[in-house]
Amino acid sequence: MTDLPHSEGTAISDRLDMLVLDAQALAGQGESAAVTLEWVLAQLHERAFGLFLLILALPCCIPFLYGIPQVVALPLMFVSAQILAGRQTPWLPGKLGARSVSSEGLANLARRAGPWLRRIEAISRPRLGSLTRAPADRLVGLALVLFSASILVPLPGTNTVPGFAVVVVAMGLLQRDGLLVIVGTVLGTAWIGTLLFAGATLVSLIRTWLGV
């Protein structure tokens, strides 16, 4: 991966604000009020992997939000799979890249997420950097694929925890903070384990009720 740490560029929260301004400027030029994921990806340059993961996962952190998490989950999974495969820059196929988000929605997202991102930036620093580089980042990519898949589960509130886990991991990758990567991975893995346990318990109860 080629994402740069915080110390080598603009703060993550500020970069998100800059992206919003670019989207609003595009809308102000008479273009569509919505921007495509392909356009968003093109604006991220050298920090594309981490920032794109972050932008896609942030809407998933909102509890009981339906529609948007399911829209971004597939691109999120696709980009995560590219980390697993060892790609240096992310890419989206035409249909996924053509999915759009309104510039107003992007602005609302940045406004709501900004304070939380700044708190994470304040406590993060480069440490355990080997977890953010090859070959360990491929294991992180595998975890992100699983977390993204769990966002697709059509149950109330199932997007929030894995979405937050992806945000923490993405911040860890951007900040070269392996501790954040660990925290996000443990959080997401615990959530998947909870889902599997709950599913197995439900199946067992149904089989008992049916007398199977």
State the Cα–Cα distance between residues 99 and 166, nearest whole angstrom.
Answer: 20
Question: For 93-177, where are the alpha helices, taking DSSP H only?
Answer: 94-97, 103-123, 136-151, 160-175
Judged by DSSP in three states, 63 sits in coil
pLDDT at 27: 60
Alpha carbon 123 to chain centroid, angstroms = 20
Q: Percentage of the chain with pLDDT > 70? A: 83
pTM for this prediction: 0.81
The predicted model gives 159-187 an average pLDDT of 91
> Which of 167, 169, 163 has its CA nearest to residue 147?
163
Tokens of 175: 């900040």
Tokens of 177: 């903070």
Q: Is the pLDDT of residue 1 over 80?
A: no
Q: What is the pLDDT of residues 82-125, one digit of tens each?
A: 899 888 778 888 888 787 777 777 777 778 888 888 888 888 88
